């Protein structure tokens, strides 16, 4: 899984490399997308559909549109030469202040603040390359000053999200509910703690989409059309 994720990252980066003599006369607009999501909204599915939608409408020689979710964490590990076992500490809000203190004393793993900073550096690098769809980890805040990045928030009623998780992840309704609530709290804490922002603040996004009302296919199309308008 780790190697497959890294392969996708490296494939993405390599696709931005233009061989001598192949560069076009027109500079390419380096567009990217950040997706913030409530748990169970279908964010990964929408991101994959979005990548396909944008790829179909991109010039033949353009870099491949690529989704970064778990792969992003692998890229952080690779960029900063961190041990692979640290992946367990990298998902949003998984390391506590106590763990950080112990880490500082015993050198078990880098303090969360450092990992968050390294993650932010990677988010910026990917967004600046363009053709990247970045899921989670306050990507909208990290890349807020980049002009050609579209920021999206995906939401849906809790009951619908529970139903999706039960269906896709084979959880019981109670397990799915607990997962949704815990993930929401963790993501909100992550954004609040490290970026001093409210994840639910609609002003942080270009689009807020209710995936239950719009559907995954239409959501990808709506986002894609807005992305294509960037930089025009």
Strands of the chain, DSSP E: 32-37, 66-68, 132-135, 149-155, 207-210
Q: What is the pLDDT of residues 82-109, one digit of tens each?
A: 666 556 555 665 555 545 555 565 565 6
Residue spans of the chain under pLDDT 70: 1-28, 61, 71, 73, 76-77, 82-111, 231-232
The 3-state DSSP class for residue 74 equals: helix
User: So what's the pLDDT on residue 205?
Assistant: 98
**Domain assignment of residue 18, yes or no:** no
C-alpha to C-alpha distance for 61 and 131, rounded to whole angstroms? 12
Q: Which residue has the tokens 């709506």?
A: 222
**Domain assignment of residue 17, yes or no:** no
User: So what's the pLDDT on residue 21?
Assistant: 42
**Domain assignment of residue 69, yes or no:** yes
Whole-prediction pTM: 0.79
Burial of 47 (0-12, 13-18, 19+ CB in 10 A): buried
User: So what's the pLDDT on residue 11?
Assistant: 59
Q: Which of 97, 125, 126 is nearest to 112 (CA)?
A: 97
Report angle CA 138, 143, 148 to the nearest 5 degrees.
130
User: So what's the pLDDT on residue 17?
Assistant: 46
CATH code, domain with 157: 3.40.50.300
**Domain assignment of residue 162, yes or no:** yes
**Domain assignment of residue 186, yes or no:** yes
User: So what's the pLDDT on residue 166?
Assistant: 96
**Domain assignment of residue 22, yes or no:** no
Count how many domains the chain has.
1
User: So what's the pLDDT on residue 146?
Assistant: 92
The 3-state DSSP class for residue 34 equals: strand
Range of the domain at 109: 2-9+31-229
**Domain assignment of residue 206, yes or no:** yes
Give the other-Cβ count within 10 Å of 94's Cβ: 13
**Domain assignment of residue 21, yes or no:** no
Give, to the nearest 10 degrees, the angle between helix 112-129 and helix 70-79: 100
């Amino acid at each position: 899984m780790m190697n497959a994720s890294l392969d996708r990252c490296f494939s993405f980066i390599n696709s931005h490399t233009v061989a001598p003599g192949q560069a076009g006369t027109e500079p390419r607009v380096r567009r990217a997308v950040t997706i913030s999501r409530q748990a169970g909204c279908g964010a990964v599915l929408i991101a994959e559909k979005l990548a396909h939608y944008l790829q179909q409408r991109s010039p033949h020689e353009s870099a491949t549109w690529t989704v970064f979710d778990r792969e992003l964490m692998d890229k952080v590990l690779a960029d900063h030469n961190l041990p692979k076992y640290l992946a367990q500490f990298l998902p949003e809000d998984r390391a506590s202040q106590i763990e950080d203190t112990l880490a500082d004393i015993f050198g078990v793993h880098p303090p969360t603040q450092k990992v968050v900073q390294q993650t932010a550096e990677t988010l910026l690098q990917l967004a600046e390359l363009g053709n990247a769809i970045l899921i989670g980890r306050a990507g909208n805040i990290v890349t807020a000053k980049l002009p050609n990045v579209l920021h999206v928030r995906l939401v849906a009623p809790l009951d619908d999200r529970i139903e999706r998780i039960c269906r896709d992840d084979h959880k019981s309704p109670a397990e799915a509910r607990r997962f949704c609530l815990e993930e929401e709290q963790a993501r909100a804490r992550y954004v609040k703690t490290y970026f001093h922002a409210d994840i639910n603040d609609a002003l942080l996004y270009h689009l807020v989409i209710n995936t239950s009302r719009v559907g995954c296919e239409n959501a990808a199309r709506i986002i894609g059309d807005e992305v294509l308008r960037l930089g025009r």
